């Protein structure tokens, strides 16, 4: 096995562990309490994996989705806090 294959295998294993952690209910509860959407965190992790694997098109689409959703949710939360009740 080449060094590149070993390195990519190790990276994939890290991303699998991250996916498992993000889907853990205890971790999800902590993240949710911090205002983090677990589904978006998973998509962001998948985007980064796609990027390091060389799938730039999928990475770009997923990163765009994550950025748009975070921006939209942030704006909505600001309106909810600063806007009329």
Tens digits of residue pLDDT in 31-65: 999 999 999 999 999 999 999 999 999 999 999 99
- pTM attached to this predicted model: 0.85
Closest CA to 65 of 43, 48, 35, 38: 43
What is the reported pLDDT for 63? 98
pLDDT at position 75 over 70: yes
DSSP letters of 19-58?
A: HHHHT-HHHHHHHHHTT--HHHHHHHHHHHHHHHTT-HHH
pLDDT at position 4 over 70: yes
What is the reported pLDDT for 85? 39
First to last CA, the chain: 61
What is the reported pLDDT for 84? 44
């Amino acid at each position: 096995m080449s060094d590149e294959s070993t390195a990519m295998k190790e990276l994939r294993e890290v991303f699998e562990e991250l996916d498992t952690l993000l889907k853990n209910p205890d971790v999800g509860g902590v993240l949710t309490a911090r205002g983090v959407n677990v589904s978006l965190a998973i998509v962001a992790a998948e985007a980064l994996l796609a990027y390091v694997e060389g799938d730039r098109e999928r990475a770009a689409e997923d990163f765009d989705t994550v950025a748009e959703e975070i921006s939209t949710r942030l704006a909505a939360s600001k309106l909810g806090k600063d806007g009329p009740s």
